[in-house]
């Protein structure tokens, strides 16, 4: 037996010639002709070890069913319906929003007739709900926490529901922390309008940028949080005199007034500029950038803090020089 190896395909071609006499029949000749055809096989590591039997592709028995009973059962089996898809709910007929729903349906029909594409909730879910499993885990965690506490809210959660605040961070200004820090300390604790006036007449160069950010933060608090709308909504409350943290007294006429509760600065990126000197020398100068963040709250927060401070002062025990308490860590009689 001779073997010719193809270098480009990595296969072994085996030719098995057989000697035939003149007395062979046509059937034996055709079988000998099939044996003379080249057989191609892959050279593998385990092919020659285990000696697996090669299947002939021209064998008609390969196309026959391996299990006729199973094929007959699968042929006669009725197709089962797939998993039921969730249908989108709708409003009841006696709902107060039914009139608006009818108008929406008419608009949808008109859009379909005009050829406009309707929004697909499955496509919008990729943006509105990118991680549904994480959201479900978070909701489950919140429900467990609420059940453990029997629906009681913490003090921080209660304040979040009853008082309003807004945090706004400015873009980076081309200045340093040393220059922007005094301005942040200057506006902290002042009403928002007074802080804007202070920055308007300040001689610092960056004060005008701070003023613009204060105006933006004030407008954002009014629009997003509804702060400072006591005169419009009738929530001003009665005038009350409060005590501030530094001990000063202040008259609060509007409980919804906005003031700067906190103001701090943050370091940003810096750029490089070149300072060309004599004899071909160049100095690298860093130009710093700094941002300012302001936390705006309503005067109702300072009223609450003043009341808590007064209540704590009233509950404080009176100092006594010789208090009446039992003597401990001492002997009743001398040891001698």
pLDDT of residue 276: 96
Q: Where are the domains of the chain?
A: 8-53, 132-162, 165-314
The pLDDT tens digits of the residues spanning 192-241 come to 999 999 999 999 999 999 999 999 999 999 999 999 999 999 999 999 99
The dihedral sign for the CA sequence 213, 219, 220, 222: positive
Residue 27 has pLDDT above 60, yes or no: no
Question: What is the pLDDT, as a whole number, of residue 70?
Answer: 80
Does residue 71 or residue 198 have the better pLDDT? 198
**Architecture category of domain 165-314 in CATH:** Alpha-Beta Complex (3.90)
Kindly report the pTM of this predicted structure: 0.57
CA distances to 3, 4, 23, 43, 336 from 7, rounded to whole Å, are 13, 9, 40, 12, 114
Considering 37-51, 141-155, 236-250, the range whose residues carry the highest mean pLDDT is 236-250
Give the closest residue to 267 by CA, choosing from 186, 185, 172.
172
């Amino acid at each position: 037996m001779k073997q010719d190896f193809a270098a480009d395909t990595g296969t072994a071609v085996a030719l098995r010639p057989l000697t035939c006499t003149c007395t062979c029949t046509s059937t034996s000749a055709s079988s000998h002709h099939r044996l003379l055809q080249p057989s191609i096989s892959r050279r593998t590591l385990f092919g020659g070890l285990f000696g697996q039997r090669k299947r002939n592709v021209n064998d008609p028995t390969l196309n026959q069913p391996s299990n006729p009973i199973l094929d007959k059962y699968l042929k006669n089996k009725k197709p089962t319906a797939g998993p039921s898809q969730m249908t989108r709910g709708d409003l009841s007929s006696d709902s107060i929003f039914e009139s608006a729903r009818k108008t929406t349906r008419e608009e949808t029909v008109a859009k379909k007739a005009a050829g406009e594409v309707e929004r697909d909730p499955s496509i919008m879910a990729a943006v509105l709900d990118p991680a549904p499993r994480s959201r479900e885990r978070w909701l489950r965690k919140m429900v467990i926490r609420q059940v453990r506490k029997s629906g009681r809210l913490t003090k921080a959660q209660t304040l979040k529901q009853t008082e309003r605040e807004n945090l706004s961070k400015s873009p980076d200004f081309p200045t340093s922390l040393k220059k922007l820090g005094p301005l942040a300390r200057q506006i902290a604790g002042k009403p928002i309008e007074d802080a804007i006036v202070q920055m308007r007449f300040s001689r610092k160069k960056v004060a005008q940028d701070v003023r613009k950010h204060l105006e933006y933060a004030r407008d954002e608090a009014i629009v997003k949080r509804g702060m400072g709308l006591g005169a419009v909504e009738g929530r001003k409350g009665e005038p009350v005199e409060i005590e501030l943290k530094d001990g000063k007294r202040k008259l609060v006429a509007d409980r919804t007034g906005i003031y700067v509760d906190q103001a701090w600065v943050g370091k940003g990126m810096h750029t490089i500029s070149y300072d060309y000197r004599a004899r071909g020398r160049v100095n690298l100068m860093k130009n710093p950038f700094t941002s300012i963040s302001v936390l705006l709250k309503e005067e109702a927060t300072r009223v609450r803090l003043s009341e808590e401070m007064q209540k704590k002062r009233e509950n404080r025990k009176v100092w006594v020089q010789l208090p009446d308490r039992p003597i401990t860590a001492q002997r009743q009689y001398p040891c001698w």
